C-alpha cells in the first residue's frame, strides 16, 4: 500500500481524551477514529490488524473442529423471551421496534439463536457433538464506556458454542477451547493468565476468564503469590482469620454520637474494625430488601451476594427503605428488624462479641452474637477477598491486581437448551437436552491489549503475527534522485507480484517526518532506501522492536520478505 494513497492521517499531538497508551497510539497513528461514546470506526490500518487477529482466532478455532458460520445481529425479542433473558437483562440489552411495531433486540451474544438452530436442525445423538462459531459485531449498551478501546459498546467478538450429548462431552469441548485460547493468546503476543470466574445467575457450572494484567483493567484479580490460586475477585474464596476465642458476653448499649461509619465507630470506641459488624443494604430486582452483615474490615461482594440470593440484579437500598424495615441507617443492625432478608458472612457468624448498630440514632450495641441476638436467614461467604488474605490452596498471601478480560470460556449446561427446546433423541430412545458451552473473545479489545503490551515511546511495535504489513518501506530524497524512486517502485511492485504487500511511504516528505511516522505505525521492519543506503550496498533495514540496523542488498531483503510470507 502506498502511504500517499492510504486513507489515514497521523497526528502530531496526542488526542486530548485518550489516556491509555493503546487508545492514544491507535488514534495518533491513524488506525481508528471515535464516532461516539464507546463507538469507533476502524480505518484501513485498524481493519487490517483486526482481520489478522481474527485470522489467528479462525485458524485455532478451525483446528479444534469448530465450524464458522454467521448469525444475525438484529433479532426478534421473542427469541429472548423464550430463554427468559429479555426479562432478566437490564438496559444494556438494546431494545427497539421495527416498522410493524414488533419488539427487536441488538444481540449481545447468540445463545438463543444457537439453541433455536439446534432445535430446528439437531434431532439425533448421531449429529453431536458439534462446535460452531462466528465472528461478528455485538452491541452492549454499557452505562459508561471507558478506557479507550477496552470497554466499548459496539465491538467485534468471536463467540463459539459447544453442543454435546452430556456433561462429559461438555468437559471435552471446554478443554478444547481452553487449549485453543492458550494458543491464540500466545500467538497474539499476549501474556494471558487464566482465572476462575463467576458463572453468573444464568446458571452454568464452571467458567474461566483469560486475563491480561493491566493497570487500567476493570476486573480485580486475586492471585496467590506462589501461583497456587487465581480467581476473579467476584468469586474468589480465600482464607479468613480465626476469630478470638471468647465466651459471649451480655449486650450493652453504648453511646456513639456521630459515629455513623465503621471508621468513626472504631475510633470512638477505640477498637479495631475487625471487632465490628457492618450492615450493608441492597434491594434485589424482584424487590427484596437484603440486610448484609460483614465484619467492619471487609467489603460486600455483590456478585457473591447476588448468587447467594439468586438475584438477577442488585442496587444499593435507599435510606427510606432501610427505615421502613425498622432499622436506622448509620446505626443499623438486624436486631429488631423486620421485612428484610438477613445474610450474614460466615466470619461474622463465628465471631463473638461484635459491636453492631442499636437501631437508635447515636447508639451501638457491644457484645452482639449472631444466633443469640438475631437469627440470620442465611450464613455464607459474601465478602471480597483482600490484599494479603491467605490463599485457599497453600495459605500464602494473595495479591489483588487489575486485569482486562480478553476471553472467557463458560459451561452453560442446559440453561438455554431446556427452555428453547434444543433436544436430541438418544441411543436409548429418550429425548435429552443438548448440553452447551459458550466461549468468547473480544477482537477489538485484543487489538488494544496487543498495543498495550507492544509499544514504546515512539509508537506501536506490532508482533509480526498481527502487523498490518510486514515492512514499511521509506524512501529519502526520492524527488531529487530519480534512481531512489525507481528502485523503490521496482521493489514494491515485485513484492506485490509475489503476494507480499508492504507499506510504501512514497510521499514527498522530509526524512524526519517519514521516520517518525514509520516508528509510530509500528511495522516490524523499517526499510530505508536512500542515496546513502544505495552507496552502502542496498537498503537499510531497522528492526522496529530492537532498533537493530543492517544494510543488505535489495534482492536479499526481497527474498527474506517472500520467505517470511510463505513460511
Partner RNA sequence: CGGGGCGUAGCGCAGCCUGGUAGCGCACCUGCUUUGGGAGCAGGAGGCCGCCGGUUCGAAUCCGGCCGCCCCGACCA
The single residue among 81, 187, 458, 562 that binds RNA, judged by CB under 7 A, is: 458
403 binds RNA (CB under 7 A): no
Query: What is the rounded distance in angstroms from the CA atom of residue 240 to the CA atom of residue 439?
Result: 33
Which positions from 204 through 243 interact with RNA, judged by CB under 7 A? Answer: 204, 218, 234
The single residue among 453, 476, 541, 557 that binds RNA, judged by CB under 7 A, is: 476
Nearer to RNA, 146 or 288 (CB): 146
The single residue among 17, 59, 120, 361 that binds RNA, judged by CB under 7 A, is: 17
Nearer to RNA, 412 or 561 (CB): 412
The single residue among 54, 389, 519, 558 that binds RNA, judged by CB under 7 A, is: 519
Grid cell in block for residue 272? 479495631
Query: What is the rounded distance in angstroms from the CA atom of residue 78 to the CA atom of residue 99?
Result: 16
CB of 497 to RNA, least distance (A): 25
415 binds RNA (CB under 7 A): yes
Binding mask 132-171 for RNA (x = CB under 7 A): --------x-xxxxxxx-----------------------
Which positions from 58 through 97 interact with RNA, judged by CB under 7 A? Answer: 90, 92
Angle between helices 167-187 and 44-63 in degrees, nearest 10 = 140
CB of 255 to RNA, least distance (A): 31
Residue with cell 436467614: 377
Nearer to RNA, 32 or 370 (CB): 32
Angle between helices 554-566 and 482-497 in degrees, nearest 10 = 20
Nearer to RNA, 202 or 447 (CB): 202
Cα torsion through 49, 51, 53, 58, rounded to 10: -170
* Runs of H (alpha helix) within 409-466: 417-420, 443-453
Nearer to RNA, 403 or 470 (CB): 403
Q: Interacting stretch for RNA, rule CB under 7 A, among 11-19, 66-74, 321-329, 388-396?
A: 11-19
Backbone angles phi, psi at 118, to 5 degrees: -65, -40
Q: Calculate the CA 123 to chain-centre distance.
A: 35
Nearer to RNA, 255 or 543 (CB): 543
Query: What is the rounded distance in angstroms from the CA atom of residue 39 to the CA atom of residue 155?
Result: 8
Nearer to RNA, 143 or 567 (CB): 143
Tell me if 189 sits within 8 A of 466, measured CB to CB.
yes
Query: What is the rounded distance in angstroms from the CA atom of residue 155 to the CA atom of residue 304?
Result: 28
19 binds RNA (CB under 7 A): yes
Task: Quote the Cα angle for 153-157-162, to 5°.
Answer: 135
- Terminal CA-to-CA distance of the chain, rounded, Å? 22
The single residue among 209, 373, 452, 540 that binds RNA, judged by CB under 7 A, is: 540
Q: Interacting stretch for RNA, rule CB under 7 A, among 36-44, 168-176, 246-254, 318-326?
A: 36-44
CB of 142 to RNA, least distance (A): 6
CB of 343 to RNA, least distance (A): 15
Best CA proximity match to 301, nearest among 236, 355, 241, 213:
236
Helix (H, G, I), strand (E, B) or coil at 434: coil
Which positions from 187 through 206 interact with RNA, judged by CB under 7 A? Answer: 198, 200-204
Nearer to RNA, 184 or 305 (CB): 305
Say how many residues touch RNA, by CB under 7 A: 70
Nearer to RNA, 332 or 412 (CB): 412
Tell me if 26 sits within 8 A of 149, measured CB to CB.
yes
Nearer to RNA, 37 or 123 (CB): 37
Which positions from 298 through 327 interact with RNA, judged by CB under 7 A? Answer: 302-303, 306, 313-316
402 binds RNA (CB under 7 A): no
Best CA proximity match to 308, nearest among 380, 206, 389, 416:
380
Nearer to RNA, 202 or 365 (CB): 202
Which positions from 353 through 382 interact with RNA, judged by CB under 7 A? Answer: none
Whether the bond between 13 and the residue before it is cis, its omega within 30 degrees of 0, is no
480 binds RNA (CB under 7 A): yes
516 binds RNA (CB under 7 A): yes
Query: What is the rounded distance in angstroms from the CA atom of residue 209 to the CA atom of residue 223?
Result: 13
* 401 Cβ contact list (under 8 Å, min separation 6): 213, 217, 220, 221, 223
* 99 Cβ contact list (under 8 Å, min separation 6): none
Query: What is the rounded distance in angstroms from the CA atom of residue 323 to the CA atom of residue 336?
Result: 12
Residue with cell 443438548: 434
Q: Which residues bind RNA (CB under 7 A)?
A: 9-17, 19, 34, 36-38, 90, 92, 108-109, 111, 140, 142-148, 198, 200-204, 218, 234, 302-303, 306, 313-316, 410, 412, 415-416, 438, 458, 476-477, 479-480, 508, 510-513, 515-517, 519-520, 528, 530-533, 540, 542, 549
Amino acid at each position: 500500500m502506498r502511504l500517499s494513497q492510504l486513507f489515514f492521517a497521523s497526528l502530531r499531538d496526542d488526542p486530548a481524551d485518550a489516556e491509555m497508551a493503546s487508545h492514544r497510539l491507535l488514534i495518533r497513528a491513524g488506525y481508528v477514529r471515535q464516532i461516539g461514546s464507546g463507538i469507533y470506526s476502524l480505518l484501513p490500518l485498524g481493519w487490517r490488524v483486526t482481520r489478522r487477529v481474527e485470522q489467528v482466532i479462525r485458524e485455532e478455532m478451525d483446528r479444534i473442529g469448530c465450524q464458522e458460520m454467521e448469525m444475525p445481529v438484529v433479532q426478534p425479542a421473542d427469541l429472548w423471551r423464550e430463554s427468559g433473558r429479555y426479562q432478566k437483562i437490564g438496559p444494556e440489552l438494546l431494545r427497539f421496534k421495527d416498522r410493524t411495531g414488533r419488539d427487536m433486540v441488538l444481540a449481545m451474544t447468540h445463545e438463543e439463536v444457537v439453541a433455536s438452530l439446534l432445535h430446528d436442525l439437531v434431532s439425533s445423538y448421531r449429529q453431536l457433538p458439534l462446535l460452531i462459531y462466528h465472528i461478528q459485531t455485538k452491541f452492549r449498551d454499557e452505562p459508561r464506556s471507558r478506557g479507550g478501546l477496552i470497554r466499548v459498546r459496539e465491538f467485534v467478538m468471536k463467540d463459539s458454542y459447544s453442543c454435546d450429548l452430556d456433561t462429559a462431552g461438555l468437559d471435552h469441548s471446554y478443554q478444547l477451547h481452553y487449549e485453543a485460547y492458550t494458543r491464540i493468546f500466545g500467538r497474539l503476543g499476549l501474556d494471558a493468565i487464566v482465572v476462575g470466574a463467576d458463572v453468573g445467575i444464568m446458571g452454568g457450572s464452571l467458567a474461566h476468564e483469560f486475563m491480561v494484567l493491566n493497570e487500567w483493567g476493570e476486573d480485580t484479580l486475586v492471585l496467590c503469590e506462589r501461583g497456587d490460586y487465581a480467581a476473579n475477585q467476584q468469586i474468589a474464596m480465600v482464607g479468613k482469620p480465626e476469630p478470638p476465642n471468647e465466651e459471649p458476653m451480655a449486650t450493652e448499649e453504648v453511646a456513639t454520637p456521630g459515629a455513623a461509619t465503621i471508621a468513626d465507630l472504631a475510633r470512638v470506641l477505640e477498637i479495631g474494625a475487625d471487632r465490628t459488624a457492618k450492615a450493608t443494604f441492597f434491594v434485589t430486582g424482584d424487590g427484596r430488601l437484603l440486610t448484609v452483615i460483614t465484619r467492619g474490615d471487609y467489603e460486600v461482594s455483590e456478585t457473591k451476594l447476588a448468587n447467594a440470593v439468586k438475584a438477577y440484579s442488585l442496587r444499593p437500598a435507599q435510606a427510606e427503605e432501610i427505615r421502613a424495615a425498622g432499622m436506622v441507617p448509620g446505626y443499623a443492625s438486624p436486631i429488631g428488624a423486620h421485612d428484610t432478608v438477613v445474610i450474614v458472612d460466615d466470619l461474622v457468624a463465628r465471631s463473638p462479641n461484635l459491636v453492631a448498630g442499636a437501631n437508635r440514632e447515636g447508639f451501638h450495641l457491644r457484645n452482639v452474637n449472631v444466633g443469640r441476638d438475631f437469627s440470620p436467614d442465611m450464613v455464607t461467604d459474601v465478602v471480597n477477598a483482600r490484599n494479603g488474605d491467605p490463599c485457599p490452596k497453600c495459605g500464602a498471601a494473595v495479591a489483588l491486581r487489575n486485569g482486562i478480560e480478553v476471553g472467557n470460556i463458560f459451561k452453560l449446561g442446559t440453561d438455554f437448551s431446556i427452555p428453547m427446546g434444543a433436544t436430541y433423541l438418544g441411543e436409548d430412545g429418550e429425548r435429552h437436552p443438548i448440553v452447551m458451552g459458550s466461549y468468547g473473545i473480544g477482537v477489538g479489545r485484543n487489538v488494544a491489549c496487543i498495543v498495550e503490551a507492544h509499544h514504546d515511546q515512539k509508537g506501536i511495535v506490532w508482533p509480526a503475527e498481527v502487523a498490518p504489513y510486514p515492512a514499511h518501506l521509506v524512501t529519502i530524497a526520492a524527488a531529487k534522485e530519480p534512481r531512489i524512486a525507481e528502485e523503490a517502485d521496482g521493489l514494491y511492485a515485485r513484492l506485490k507480484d509475489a503476494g507480499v504487500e508492504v507499506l510504501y511511504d512514497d510521499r514527498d516528505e522530509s526524512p524526519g517526518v517519514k521516520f517518525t511516522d514509520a516508528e509510530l505505525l509500528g511495522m516490524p521492519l523499517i526499510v530505508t532506501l536512500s542515496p546513502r543506503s544505495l552507496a552502502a550496498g542496498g537498503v537499510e533495514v531497522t528492526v522496529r522492536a530492537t532498533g537493530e540496523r543492517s544494510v543488505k542488498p535489495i534482492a536479499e531483503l526481497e527474498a527474506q520478505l517472500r520467505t517470511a510470507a510463505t513460511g
